Structure 1
Amino acid sequence: MTICTTCLNDIRPSQHDCPGLQYADIVFTRHRGQGVTIDQAPPRARIAVHVLTDRNAYLHMQGADRIVFADQVIYRITGYTDGQLELELAEDWRPARRVQKPLTDEEAADLKARWKERYGGRAVFPVNALGGPEKPTWRSWHGSS
């Protein structure tokens, strides 16, 4: 199987419509007191050259052709067009996202059975019913004044 070097898709013996290089934005989130996290790191991106001089851009140069964004992803500079650097993702140091799949019916039944076995169908912590048969009032919660 042959792969197109431009779009990285399989080239079939029939016709190959190459869409050309696809660029997307690098998306990051700034967290108060914790720094920046890279939310989306596309395989190819473009950035304006003046971003390299911005102190608040959370990037630094690692050699002549590599840019590190927020100490999480490294892009290699592959070209320059109309005042923008063309980048290609070289390394991604972000932790893998963990996605919890929904429980199957068997897993849910097993979890319920273990809960009942361990706690006997009662609550783990004592439960105090509020208000009893009558509705609680503001004074009953905050004392009578």
Structure 2
Amino acid sequence: MKPLTKYYFKGLLPFFICALILEFTTLGLMNKLYLYLGYLWPYALSTPGLREKILLRKYRFSFLRLSLRLDEILGRMIPHFQLKREVVQGLLPFIYCLILFFVSFEGIPLLSIIGSILIALMQRFVIGDLGEREIHQASLNEENDL
């Protein structure tokens, strides 16, 4: 199995299991959305090789590039400490969920922080180091083959 495929498998399989369990709860749709967004946003931003691809000129006006830039800006503003990356990646979905909350007045935006904590735990204990260099090298090799 390719390293990037392994990264997706180890990160998204627990997400789909949790999403399936949440479907049988009485949690409202917006609450589930906040939780999913809190989990998937940092997961997407930490995908190996994504940062290099998004910074290309053809993705100049994409929402993902804006998210990456905001992540970098927040990273520079917050002083350095051990869990800085997890905190910064958890702030962006929370801010976005707060904006959604003020528009719709539905749900509990703090659930996005719980989703961010879940992905931080998953990255630390389940996903771990899948060899970012291997994944980056494999993506470069795929681009050269095209």
> With structure 1 as the length reference, what TM-score do the two structures score?
0.22
Q: Which structure's residues are more often strand, by fraction?
A: 1
Higher relative contact order (CA 8 A, sep 6+): 2
- Answer with 1 or 2: which has the greater Rg: 1
Q: Which structure's residues are more often helix, by fraction?
A: 2
